[in-house]
Amino acid sequence: MENLTTQMAGVPLNHYIYLCAIIFTIGVIGVLTRRNAIVIFMSVELMLNAVNLLLTAFSVHSNDPSGQVFVFFIMTLAAAEVAVGLAIIVMVYRSTKSIDINVLNRLKW
Amino acid sequence: MTDEETNKTNNKLMSTQVFYFVATLSIIFSLMVIFAKNPIHSVLYLILTFFTFTVHYVLLNAQFLAVVNFIVYMGAIMVLFLFVLMLLNLNKETEPVKSPLIKIVGVIAGCCLVVTLVGSFKAASINSPLILKNQGLGLVENLGKELFGPFLLPFELSSLLLLAAMVGAVLLSKRDEVEA
Protein backbone atom coordinates (compact mmCIF):
# COMPACT_ATOMS: atom_id res chain seq x y z
CA MET A 1 0.00 0.00 0.00
CA GLU A 2 2.76 2.42 0.95
CA ASN A 3 4.60 1.62 -2.25
CA LEU A 4 1.50 1.92 -4.37
CA THR A 5 0.64 5.43 -3.21
CA THR A 6 4.26 6.58 -3.19
CA GLN A 7 4.63 5.63 -6.81
CA MET A 8 1.36 7.17 -7.96
CA ALA A 9 3.25 9.42 -10.32
CA GLY A 10 2.65 7.96 -13.71
CA VAL A 11 -0.88 9.07 -14.51
CA PRO A 12 -1.00 12.42 -16.32
CA LEU A 13 -3.38 15.00 -14.94
CA ASN A 14 -5.32 15.28 -18.18
CA HIS A 15 -6.36 11.63 -17.98
CA TYR A 16 -8.08 12.47 -14.70
CA ILE A 17 -9.73 15.42 -16.44
CA TYR A 18 -10.97 13.20 -19.27
CA LEU A 19 -12.30 10.56 -16.87
CA CYS A 20 -14.18 13.18 -14.87
CA ALA A 21 -15.53 14.84 -18.02
CA ILE A 22 -16.85 11.48 -19.25
CA ILE A 23 -18.50 10.62 -15.94
CA PHE A 24 -19.99 14.10 -15.64
CA THR A 25 -21.41 13.72 -19.15
CA ILE A 26 -22.87 10.33 -18.27
CA GLY A 27 -24.65 12.11 -15.42
CA VAL A 28 -25.95 14.77 -17.80
CA ILE A 29 -27.20 12.11 -20.22
CA GLY A 30 -28.98 10.40 -17.34
CA VAL A 31 -30.77 13.61 -16.39
CA LEU A 32 -31.76 14.19 -20.01
CA THR A 33 -32.97 10.71 -20.90
CA ARG A 34 -34.60 9.28 -17.78
CA ARG A 35 -38.05 10.11 -16.45
CA ASN A 36 -37.82 8.40 -13.08
CA ALA A 37 -37.16 11.16 -10.55
CA ILE A 38 -34.96 8.94 -8.35
CA VAL A 39 -32.71 7.93 -11.25
CA ILE A 40 -32.38 11.62 -12.10
CA PHE A 41 -31.22 12.19 -8.54
CA MET A 42 -28.67 9.42 -8.91
CA SER A 43 -27.37 11.07 -12.07
CA VAL A 44 -26.90 14.30 -10.15
CA GLU A 45 -24.91 12.31 -7.58
CA LEU A 46 -22.71 10.98 -10.37
CA MET A 47 -22.00 14.54 -11.54
CA LEU A 48 -21.13 15.64 -7.99
CA ASN A 49 -18.77 12.70 -7.64
CA ALA A 50 -17.01 13.46 -10.90
CA VAL A 51 -16.35 16.99 -9.66
CA ASN A 52 -15.15 15.61 -6.29
CA LEU A 53 -12.62 13.35 -7.95
CA LEU A 54 -11.34 16.19 -10.14
CA LEU A 55 -10.97 18.49 -7.13
CA THR A 56 -8.96 15.81 -5.34
CA ALA A 57 -6.74 15.26 -8.38
CA PHE A 58 -6.05 18.99 -8.68
CA SER A 59 -5.42 19.23 -4.94
CA VAL A 60 -2.78 16.50 -5.22
CA HIS A 61 -1.37 18.12 -8.34
CA SER A 62 -0.89 21.54 -6.76
CA ASN A 63 -0.07 20.14 -3.30
CA ASP A 64 -2.83 22.17 -1.64
CA PRO A 65 -5.17 20.59 0.93
CA SER A 66 -7.92 23.19 0.29
CA GLY A 67 -9.21 21.14 -2.65
CA GLN A 68 -9.87 18.16 -0.41
CA VAL A 69 -11.64 20.40 2.11
CA PHE A 70 -13.91 21.55 -0.72
CA VAL A 71 -14.69 17.91 -1.49
CA PHE A 72 -15.66 17.45 2.14
CA PHE A 73 -18.07 20.40 1.90
CA ILE A 74 -19.52 19.09 -1.36
CA MET A 75 -20.21 15.76 0.36
CA THR A 76 -22.05 17.60 3.16
CA LEU A 77 -24.06 19.49 0.58
CA ALA A 78 -24.87 16.29 -1.31
CA ALA A 79 -26.11 14.60 1.85
CA ALA A 80 -28.39 17.55 2.66
CA GLU A 81 -29.62 17.74 -0.93
CA VAL A 82 -30.42 14.04 -1.10
CA ALA A 83 -32.34 14.11 2.19
CA VAL A 84 -34.54 17.03 1.14
CA GLY A 85 -34.89 15.82 -2.46
CA LEU A 86 -35.98 12.34 -1.48
CA ALA A 87 -38.47 13.81 0.98
CA ILE A 88 -39.94 15.87 -1.87
CA ILE A 89 -40.08 12.79 -4.09
CA VAL A 90 -41.91 10.82 -1.39
CA MET A 91 -44.38 13.71 -1.06
CA VAL A 92 -44.93 13.86 -4.82
CA TYR A 93 -45.47 10.11 -4.90
CA ARG A 94 -48.09 10.38 -2.16
CA SER A 95 -50.10 12.98 -4.03
CA THR A 96 -49.73 11.66 -7.61
CA LYS A 97 -49.02 7.91 -7.07
CA SER A 98 -46.16 8.16 -9.55
CA ILE A 99 -42.60 9.43 -9.69
CA ASP A 100 -42.70 10.14 -13.40
CA ILE A 101 -41.43 13.70 -13.72
CA ASN A 102 -43.74 14.31 -16.69
CA VAL A 103 -46.65 14.16 -14.26
CA LEU A 104 -45.21 17.31 -12.74
CA ASN A 105 -45.45 19.38 -15.89
CA ARG A 106 -48.39 21.27 -14.44
CA LEU A 107 -45.82 23.05 -12.30
CA LYS A 108 -44.65 24.81 -15.45
CA TRP A 109 -47.10 27.69 -15.31
CA MET B 1 19.81 0.61 -13.40
CA THR B 2 19.98 -0.65 -9.85
CA ASP B 3 17.64 -3.19 -8.44
CA GLU B 4 15.72 -0.60 -6.44
CA GLU B 5 15.12 1.59 -9.48
CA THR B 6 13.68 -1.25 -11.52
CA ASN B 7 11.46 -2.03 -8.59
CA LYS B 8 10.28 1.58 -8.52
CA THR B 9 9.47 1.70 -12.24
CA ASN B 10 7.63 -1.58 -11.92
CA ASN B 11 5.57 -0.15 -9.10
CA LYS B 12 4.85 2.98 -11.10
CA LEU B 13 3.71 0.93 -14.07
CA MET B 14 1.49 -1.19 -11.86
CA SER B 15 -0.20 1.74 -10.16
CA THR B 16 -0.96 3.47 -13.46
CA GLN B 17 -2.41 0.22 -14.72
CA VAL B 18 -4.56 0.06 -11.60
CA PHE B 19 -5.77 3.59 -12.37
CA TYR B 20 -6.76 2.74 -15.95
CA PHE B 21 -8.47 -0.47 -14.88
CA VAL B 22 -10.49 1.28 -12.15
CA ALA B 23 -11.29 4.17 -14.50
CA THR B 24 -12.72 1.75 -17.06
CA LEU B 25 -14.74 0.07 -14.35
CA SER B 26 -16.17 3.36 -13.10
CA ILE B 27 -17.19 4.40 -16.63
CA ILE B 28 -18.85 1.02 -17.25
CA PHE B 29 -20.71 1.05 -13.93
CA SER B 30 -21.90 4.64 -14.34
CA LEU B 31 -23.21 3.76 -17.81
CA MET B 32 -25.07 0.85 -16.23
CA VAL B 33 -26.62 3.26 -13.69
CA ILE B 34 -28.08 5.26 -16.55
CA PHE B 35 -29.20 2.40 -18.76
CA ALA B 36 -30.46 -0.16 -16.24
CA LYS B 37 -34.22 -0.58 -16.61
CA ASN B 38 -34.90 -1.48 -13.00
CA PRO B 39 -34.28 1.40 -10.54
CA ILE B 40 -33.07 -1.04 -7.86
CA HIS B 41 -30.34 -2.21 -10.25
CA SER B 42 -29.47 1.44 -10.86
CA VAL B 43 -28.88 1.95 -7.15
CA LEU B 44 -26.74 -1.17 -6.88
CA TYR B 45 -24.61 -0.09 -9.85
CA LEU B 46 -24.32 3.36 -8.28
CA ILE B 47 -22.90 1.72 -5.14
CA LEU B 48 -20.29 -0.04 -7.32
CA THR B 49 -19.47 3.27 -9.02
CA PHE B 50 -18.92 4.90 -5.65
CA PHE B 51 -16.70 2.02 -4.65
CA THR B 52 -14.50 2.61 -7.69
CA PHE B 53 -14.35 6.29 -6.70
CA THR B 54 -13.14 5.23 -3.26
CA VAL B 55 -10.36 3.28 -4.96
CA HIS B 56 -9.47 6.40 -6.95
CA TYR B 57 -9.18 8.37 -3.71
CA VAL B 58 -6.92 5.71 -2.21
CA LEU B 59 -4.74 5.84 -5.33
CA LEU B 60 -4.48 9.62 -4.91
CA ASN B 61 -3.47 9.02 -1.26
CA ALA B 62 -6.52 11.01 -0.08
CA GLN B 63 -7.23 8.52 2.67
CA PHE B 64 -9.56 10.72 4.70
CA LEU B 65 -11.74 11.34 1.64
CA ALA B 66 -11.69 7.65 0.79
CA VAL B 67 -13.06 6.78 4.21
CA VAL B 68 -15.61 9.61 4.17
CA ASN B 69 -16.71 8.63 0.66
CA PHE B 70 -17.11 5.05 1.80
CA ILE B 71 -19.15 5.94 4.88
CA VAL B 72 -21.22 8.88 3.64
CA TYR B 73 -21.91 7.89 0.05
CA MET B 74 -21.91 4.12 0.13
CA GLY B 75 -23.35 3.98 3.61
CA ALA B 76 -25.73 6.83 4.27
CA ILE B 77 -26.83 8.16 0.89
CA MET B 78 -27.22 4.76 -0.75
CA VAL B 79 -29.24 3.42 2.17
CA LEU B 80 -31.49 6.48 1.81
CA PHE B 81 -31.95 5.80 -1.91
CA LEU B 82 -32.63 2.10 -1.38
CA PHE B 83 -35.11 2.76 1.40
CA VAL B 84 -37.06 5.28 -0.64
CA LEU B 85 -37.09 2.95 -3.65
CA MET B 86 -38.41 0.09 -1.57
CA LEU B 87 -40.89 2.36 0.19
CA LEU B 88 -42.34 3.45 -3.13
CA ASN B 89 -42.50 -0.14 -4.39
CA LEU B 90 -41.03 0.59 -7.80
CA ASN B 91 -40.06 -2.04 -10.32
CA LYS B 92 -39.59 -2.58 -14.02
CA GLU B 93 -43.32 -2.48 -14.82
CA THR B 94 -43.97 0.91 -13.24
CA GLU B 95 -40.84 2.44 -14.74
CA PRO B 96 -41.80 5.36 -16.99
CA VAL B 97 -40.17 5.23 -20.43
CA LYS B 98 -39.23 8.18 -22.55
CA SER B 99 -39.74 8.06 -26.29
CA PRO B 100 -36.72 6.80 -28.26
CA LEU B 101 -36.43 10.18 -29.97
CA ILE B 102 -35.80 11.96 -26.65
CA LYS B 103 -33.28 9.28 -25.71
CA ILE B 104 -31.33 9.67 -28.96
CA VAL B 105 -31.41 13.46 -28.69
CA GLY B 106 -30.20 13.24 -25.07
CA VAL B 107 -27.31 10.94 -25.96
CA ILE B 108 -26.31 13.16 -28.89
CA ALA B 109 -26.40 16.26 -26.67
CA GLY B 110 -24.24 14.45 -24.10
CA CYS B 111 -21.74 13.42 -26.77
CA CYS B 112 -21.56 17.05 -27.95
CA LEU B 113 -20.84 18.10 -24.36
CA VAL B 114 -18.05 15.55 -23.90
CA VAL B 115 -16.49 16.50 -27.26
CA THR B 116 -16.54 20.18 -26.30
CA LEU B 117 -15.07 19.49 -22.86
CA VAL B 118 -12.32 17.18 -24.13
CA GLY B 119 -11.51 19.58 -26.97
CA SER B 120 -11.12 22.53 -24.64
CA PHE B 121 -8.99 20.52 -22.22
CA LYS B 122 -6.81 19.38 -25.11
CA ALA B 123 -6.33 23.03 -26.06
CA ALA B 124 -5.28 23.75 -22.47
CA SER B 125 -2.77 20.85 -22.81
CA ILE B 126 -2.11 20.02 -19.17
CA ASN B 127 -0.26 16.75 -19.38
CA SER B 128 2.20 16.97 -16.54
CA PRO B 129 2.14 13.73 -14.57
CA LEU B 130 0.51 13.77 -11.18
CA ILE B 131 3.21 13.75 -8.51
CA LEU B 132 2.44 13.45 -4.84
CA LYS B 133 4.84 15.98 -3.35
CA ASN B 134 3.67 15.67 0.22
CA GLN B 135 2.95 12.18 1.53
CA GLY B 136 0.64 13.41 4.30
CA LEU B 137 -1.47 15.65 2.08
CA GLY B 138 -4.72 13.74 2.35
CA LEU B 139 -4.33 12.52 5.91
CA VAL B 140 -6.62 13.56 8.74
CA GLU B 141 -3.95 15.62 10.50
CA ASN B 142 -3.29 17.84 7.50
CA LEU B 143 -6.95 18.24 6.53
CA GLY B 144 -8.00 18.91 10.11
CA LYS B 145 -5.53 21.78 10.37
CA GLU B 146 -6.97 23.22 7.19
CA LEU B 147 -10.59 22.57 8.15
CA PHE B 148 -10.37 24.12 11.61
CA GLY B 149 -8.07 26.94 10.51
CA PRO B 150 -9.01 28.94 7.42
CA PHE B 151 -12.22 26.97 6.79
CA LEU B 152 -13.70 27.21 10.29
CA LEU B 153 -16.62 29.48 9.33
CA PRO B 154 -17.79 27.34 6.36
CA PHE B 155 -17.44 24.27 8.60
CA GLU B 156 -19.75 25.77 11.22
CA LEU B 157 -22.15 26.99 8.55
CA SER B 158 -22.38 23.49 7.09
CA SER B 159 -23.74 22.31 10.43
CA LEU B 160 -26.51 24.90 9.98
CA LEU B 161 -27.12 23.54 6.47
CA LEU B 162 -27.43 19.99 7.80
CA LEU B 163 -29.85 21.14 10.51
CA ALA B 164 -31.97 22.95 7.92
CA ALA B 165 -31.95 19.85 5.70
CA MET B 166 -32.99 17.64 8.61
CA VAL B 167 -35.86 19.91 9.63
CA GLY B 168 -36.91 20.26 5.98
CA ALA B 169 -36.88 16.52 5.36
CA VAL B 170 -38.92 15.77 8.48
CA LEU B 171 -41.39 18.54 7.69
CA LEU B 172 -41.82 17.48 4.06
CA SER B 173 -42.27 13.78 4.66
CA LYS B 174 -44.67 14.19 7.58
CA ARG B 175 -48.23 13.38 6.61
CA ASP B 176 -50.72 16.22 6.51
CA GLU B 177 -52.87 15.93 9.59
CA VAL B 178 -55.23 18.75 8.68
CA GLU B 179 -57.79 16.50 6.98
CA ALA B 180 -57.50 13.75 9.55
Instruction: Tell me the pLDDT of chain B averaged across its residues.
Output: 83
The ipTM assigned to this model is: 0.87
Among the partner-chain residues B18, B107, B111, the one whose CB lies closest to the CB of A33 is B107
The angle, 0 to 180 degrees and rounded to 10, between the axes of the packed helices B3-35 and A13-33 is: 10
CA dist B146 and B134 (Å) reads: 15
Distance between CA atoms of residues B117 and B6, nearest Å: 37
pLDDT tens digits, B71-82? 988 888 888 888
Residues of chain B in contact with residue A98, where contact means CB-CB under 8 angstroms, are 94, 96
Q: Hey, are the CB atoms on A66 and B87 less than 8 Å from each other? A: no
Q: Shortest CB distance from A66 goes to which of B49, B105, B146?
A: B146
Which one of B30, B51, B55, B141 makes the best mutation probe of the A interface by having the most chain A beta carbons within 10 Å?
B30
Q: What's the farthest any 2 CA atoms get from each other in chain A?
A: 59
- What would the pLDDT profile of B8-49 be if each residue is shown by its tens digit? 566 666 778 888 899 999 999 999 999 888 888 899 999 999
Neighboring chain A residues of B77 at a CB cutoff of 8 Å: 45, 78-79, 82
Q: Which long-range contacts (CB under 8 A, 24 or more apart) does A84-88 make?
A: A84/B165, A84/B168, A84/B169, A84/B172, A85/A41, A86/A38, A86/A41, A86/B80, A86/B81, A86/B84, A86/B169, A87/B168, A87/B169, A87/B170, A87/B172, A87/B173, A88/B172
pLDDT-wise least confident of A25-34, B77-86, B124-133, B145-154: B124-133
